[in-house]
Chains A and B, each alone.
Chain A
Amino acid sequence: MEKVRRVISVIVANEAQVLARVSGLFAGRGYNIDSLTVAPIPDTQLSHMTIVTHGNRRVIEQIVKQLHKLIPAFKVIEHEQMVEKEMVLIKFPIESPIADIQALCTAYNGGIVNVGTDMLIAMAADEQQRIAHFIEAAKRYHPIEIVRSGVVAMER
């Protein structure tokens, strides 16, 4: 069966162990996690997890059902029509061409967010695919460190 990429949101009760239940489920059943983000939903007792995974149709269906089965899982959304964003931070040496980097960041919804004595940090926030392009382009300026946030998504 053909493998597909899927973005899944899980709304969970904001309680102890819940992240371990989700990650343990993926580990125990041999599912892939490409990225996982989690943060509380404002003014609720819930958290929103966004999981990017891949697998064949049967596996994806099982992931959704098994997530649903977790007692603290309130809702599982297999995204179809979504807005997805990922953020990346990249550290460059201070000697880098700042204007060029600034221009690059602008093209990917970002900018220079910190300038120190011997380095600067740039940021971009965009779709995962475009973030990959951004990182590709940034490589030409010899980045020292790259940190990706993982995807967050919202159904349209």
Chain B
Amino acid sequence: MKMSGAQMVCEAIIAEGVRTVFGYPGGAIMNVYDEIYKQNAFRHILTRHEQAAVHAADGYARSTGEVGVAMVTSGPGFTNAVTGLATAYMDSIPLVVISGQVPLSLIGTDGFQEVDAVGISRPCTKHNYLVRSIEDLPRILKEAFYIARSGRPGPVLVDIPKDITGEIGEFVYPESVDLPTYKPRYKGNDRQIKKAVEAILKAKKPLLYVGGGTVLSNAAEGVRAFAELTQIPAVETLMARGVMGARNPLLVGMVGMHGSYAANMAMSETDLIVSLGARFDDRVTGKLSEFARYADIIHIDIDPANIGKIVDVDYPIVGDVGTVVAKMTEMIRERVDPDRYSVWRDILKRYDELHPLGYEDSEEVIKPQWVIERLGERLGGDAIITSDVGQHQMWAAQFYPFDRPRQWINSGGLGTMGFGFPAAIGAKVGNPDKTVINVTGDGSILMNVQELVTAAQYGVPVINVILNNHFLGMVRQWQTFFYDKRYSETDLSFQPDWKALARACGGEGYDVESKEQFDEALDAAIASGKVCFLNVAVDRFENVLPMVPAGGALYNMLLEHKEK
């Protein structure tokens, strides 16, 4: 069929089953927006900033497992989207971002709103395209979606010059993709899997190290079943919260810089790490030379480049976590003796009893951890929790009882402040029946605060719970611990009127200064059906603990902070 390049973009979006696109128009992408105007097959949500459009598409993707789509114009529209691309890239989130570009004839002339989009985005996309001819467009669109969601997922940018979206060409959307240079491997090597299984059977203190890849691979059920069958304890990374389920007796806790004592000790003392879609991030390993000194390592990852990147691996297995774990389960089923690891489980239980994850509650002031626990009691497995970056993020990860994968959405890899709110909007759009809470800080929320307007306009009742410590809290914590309390540029005592701010944009706001008020405000916020700010005044100087100081050994945790 003959149609314009702009129509092709819309047709591809429809053919891929995308229901919602987030974006922001401008000169170079106007042809596409004109076609969006004419169609009804998918919805477009106008965010108020391109960064937010990409984060919203990202939140949509993380919460639904589908590819998220965002659309931006050339030049500043694209550069605003870069943080969104980098955020998605670091966490392997499938996105297709379409950007307008100046007409082909102007490329390279420093034309108005020209920027080298493929050049800038190369290191923060899985792949990118500058479309040079209308004949290539259908194939490129198909490939973009395929590359975004297959293998190790990631964001793909398609940069389309304006004359190409305006040109008429023949449109046949390809049925399949033929990329001889790109063949992701899903099935692990059986011989390697067999060896890994033998190692597990021989180990005394094996540990499942569960990472975000298990979420991406939809492998949570299989991983839980494997743990259940073998009775091998598990630690979760920040990205994997929810995979094992908070009430799972085999879950030791979160591992890493702010992981639990027991989880970090488990990592330090295990004799066999079974890494499932995790990548030995420096926030997990701590000082490498001290990391898991007694352990052999089974590393299962769909991306071969992750294997052996940080640590030497004894049993490398390239493949999809879900597929490989299913195979391991089958091989081990008749042979495993779950009692074998009971001593090990007891050791970990004792570690947990020795230093359980906790905090000292107070009657005078609201403790931020209490807020998270209360949210958990009230909303539990139902809600989707997004977060920004800082102390609030770590408390949410530590204290919310995540029951299922895709319930917890945060920027773990890039650590992007400003991610949480737009991601929550995307998650709510993708899951209209779920309560969506963004746990945020008084610093982070201002980094995409304009999205109040978006959420109000489209009736997306996301609740922002601001753990307000009048500080850039996480940086303040490092200043307290490591910079002799020189609070350089972290004091946020000058505050907006949060209630008024939310209301001015069409939302609702609540100031919370006591536990009773919190419950009331949460009820009211949910009942309001509006986008909300819950401005919760919390203890200003609360610290996230335990903490492994950057570069320190994982087993050397600060468990409490004593004022000198």
Contact = CB atoms under 8 A, between A and B. Distances in A.
A72 interface: yes
A39 interface: no
A16 B303 CA distance: 25
Contacts of A66: 305
Contacts of B123: 24, 28
Interface string B325-369: 000000000000000000000000000000000000000000000
A73 B304 CA distance: 15
A71 B182 contact: yes
Contacts of B132: 16
A73 B118 CA distance: 17
Contacts of A28: 123
B305 A65 contact: yes
A13 interface: yes
Interface in B162-207: 179-182
B308 A61 contact: yes
A156 B62 CA distance: 48
B305 A17 contact: no
Given A20-B122, A28-B123, A71-B127, A13 B181 contact: yes
B564 interface: no
A58 B126 CA distance: 22
B305 A69 contact: yes
A74 B181 contact: yes
B130 interface: yes
A63 to B, nearest CB: 10
B309 interface: yes
B119 interface: yes
A17 B130 contact: yes
Contact of A68 (B122, B147, B304, B309): B304
Decide if the interface of chain A is mainly helix, strand, loop or mixed: helix
A-side interface size class: 10 to 19
Contacts of B180: 74
Interface in A48-66: 58, 61-62, 65-66
Contacts of A20: 119, 122
Nearest to B312: A58
Contacts of A17: 118, 122, 128, 130
A60 B128 CA distance: 25
Interface string A11-41: 0110011001100100010000000000000
Interface in B282-312: 303-305, 308-309
A72 B122 CA distance: 13
Interface in B108-150: 118-119, 122-123, 126-128, 130, 132, 147
A72 B304 contact: no
Nearest to B303: A69
Contacts of A68: 304-305
A69 B311 CA distance: 19
Contacts of B119: 20
A60 to B, nearest CB: 11
A66 B303 CA distance: 10
Contacts of A65: 304-305, 309
A24 B122 contact: yes
A139 B308 CA distance: 44
A20 B122 CA distance: 9
B96 to A, nearest CB: 14
A45 to B, nearest CB: 10
A50 B132 CA distance: 27
Nearest to B181: A74
A16 B122 contact: no
B130 A71 contact: no
Contact of A72 (B118, B181, B303, B309): B181
Nearest to A71: B127
B313 to A, nearest CB: 11
B146 to A, nearest CB: 11
A62 B305 CA distance: 6
Interface in B222-254: none
B285 to A, nearest CB: 15
Interface-centre pick from B127, B128, B130 (highest chain A CB count, 10 A): B127
B203 to A, nearest CB: 25
A116 B71 CA distance: 59
B158 to A, nearest CB: 13
Given A69-B305, A71-B127, 6 more contacts: A16-B130, A16-B132, A17-B118, A28-B123, A66-B305, A71-B147
29 contacts: A13-B181, A16-B132, A17-B118, A17-B122, A20-B119, A20-B122, A21-B122, A24-B122, A24-B123, A58-B308, A58-B309, A61-B308, A62-B305, A62-B308, A62-B309, A65-B304, A65-B309, A66-B305, A68-B304, A68-B305, A69-B303, A69-B304, A71-B147, A71-B179, A71-B181, A71-B182, A72-B181, A74-B180, A74-B181
Interface of B: 118-119, 122-123, 126-128, 130, 132, 147, 179-182, 303-305, 308-309
For the complex of A and B, the 4 pairs showing the least CB-CB separation, nearest first, are: A65-B305, A74-B181, A71-B127, A28-B123
